[in-house]
């Protein structure tokens, strides 16, 4: 699948819709300048929660000292008129591009992991699980971009084993049979002084990328206030 000739159109479509910013990675683009432009848009979005204008992006690159990306390149991307392309084609092509690039990158990373990890009878199970996680979890991409599930729909409460994801703690993953389940809220409880506060964080998961990360409790309010998706 070679979409090199369409990378400029895909980049414009991605930067025109914040929904794709978390999923599309700068490394997906063969044109390194396109990757840097996407990275700049992502950084601006994370800081100000809005898509930058070409002028704002150009100024942002100047402040960062990135002279390798010319204003002409940035303006050329923004000047692409998406109205000249069919909406269905834009959506389908962009999502195919993201899925394919994500798949190939995870496959390469999985092979590198196997080649660089000594395997013994003691660790073979964890090596296999880690390999599967690289392939399966990274490619569990959701393009629905919905705001949530219908609480009153019983099908949305089914816990599927395939929908589990690592908690970040091997013991918890073992006890829960694979990790946390989607559509669930987990609360750590225990007697005083047993070490609950050592966590100090809330575990969050980006449902579109599958990434699991820690959220500091004191930062949670700021994330919600800015409208950032967890």
34 sits in the region (left: phi over 0; alpha: psi -120 to 50; else beta) called alpha
| Position 120 in a domain | no
What's the CA dihedral at 94, 95, 100, 106 to 10 degrees?
A: 120
pLDDT digits (tens, 9 = 90+) for 61-90: 999 888 888 999 999 999 999 999 999 999
Residues linked to residue 203 through DSSP beta bridges, in sequence order: 214
State which residues form the domain around 43. Answer: 4-98
Looking at the 3D structure of the chain, how many domains does it have?
2
From 18-27, 122-131, 199-208, the region with the lowest mean pLDDT = 199-208
Name the domain boundary from 98, 125, 140: 98
**Whole-model pTM?**
0.60
| 79 assigned to some structural domain | yes
Helix axes of 124-136 and 87-116: crossing angle, nearest 10 degrees: 160
84-142 pLDDT, tens digit each: 999 999 999 999 999 999 999 999 999 999 999 999 989 999 999 899 888 888 888 87
Position 25 in a domain: yes
Last residue of some domain: 77, 98, 119? 98
């Amino acid at each position: 699948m070679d979409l090199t000739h369409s990378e400029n159109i895909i980049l414009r479509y991605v930067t025109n819709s914040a929904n794709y910013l978390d999923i599309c990675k700068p490394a997906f683009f063969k044109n390194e300048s396109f990757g840097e432009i996407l990275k700049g848009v992502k950084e601006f979005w994370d800081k100000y929660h809005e898509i930058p204008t070409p002028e704002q992006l150009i100024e942002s690159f100047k402040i960062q000292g990135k002279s390798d990306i010319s204003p002409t390149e940035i303006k050329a991307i923004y000047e692409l008129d998406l109205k000249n392309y069919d909406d269905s084609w834009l959506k389908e092509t962009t999502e195919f591009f993201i899925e394919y690039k994500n798949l190939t990158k995870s496959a390469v990373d999985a092979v590198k992991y196997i080649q660089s990890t000594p395997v013994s009878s003691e660790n073979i199970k964890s090596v296999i699980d880690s390999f599967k996680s690289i392939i399966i979890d990274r490619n569990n991409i959701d393009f629905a971009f919905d705001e949530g599930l219908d609480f009153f729909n019983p099908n949305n409460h089914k816990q599927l084993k395939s929908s589990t994801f690592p908690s970040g703690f091997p013991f918890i993953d073992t006890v829960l049979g694979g990790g946390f389940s989607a559509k669930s809220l987990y609360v750590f409880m225990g007697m005083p002084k047993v070490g609950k506060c050592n966590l100090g964080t809330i575990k969050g998961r980006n449902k579109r990328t599958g990434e699991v990360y820690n959220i500091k409790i004191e930062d949670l309010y700021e994330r919600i206030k800015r409208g950032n998706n967890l």
